[in-house]
């Protein structure tokens, strides 16, 4: 697990909390901010997943040499 995966999951969780808080309080701005933060976290997590996958493939290629 790399730092992008961890950071992405943290941001995803924080965004989800903000989104729910915005819905509960009727604050559309907070809800939208949470939604954006959640999706940015999701994107960062996917970046980390891609990096991890590339690292694994590179390691496999080196092992085959």
**DSSP 8-state symbol, 27:** -
41, 14 Cβ separation under 8 angstroms:
yes
Structure confidence at residue 65 as a pLDDT band (50, 70, 90): confident
Number of domains the chain is built from: 1
pLDDT > 90? residue 17: yes
pTM: 0.85
Domain range holding 18?
A: 3-64
Residues above pLDDT 90, as percent of the chain: 95
The overall longest dimension of the chain from CA atoms, in Å, is 59
How far is Cα 30 from Cα 19, in angstroms, rounded to an integer? 6
Predicted pLDDT at 40:
98
Half-sphere exposure of 43 (CA within 13 A, CB side): 7
| Cβ partners under 8 Å of residue 28, min gap 6 | 22
């Amino acid at each position: 697990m790399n730092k992008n995966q961890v950071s992405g999951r943290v941001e995803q969780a924080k965004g989800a909390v903000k989104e729910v808080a915005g819905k509960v309080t009727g604050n559309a701005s907070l809800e939208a901010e949470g939604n954006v933060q959640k999706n940015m976290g999701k994107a960062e997590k996917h970046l980390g997943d891609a990096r991890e996958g590339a690292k694994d493939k590179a390691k496999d290629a080196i092992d085959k040499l």
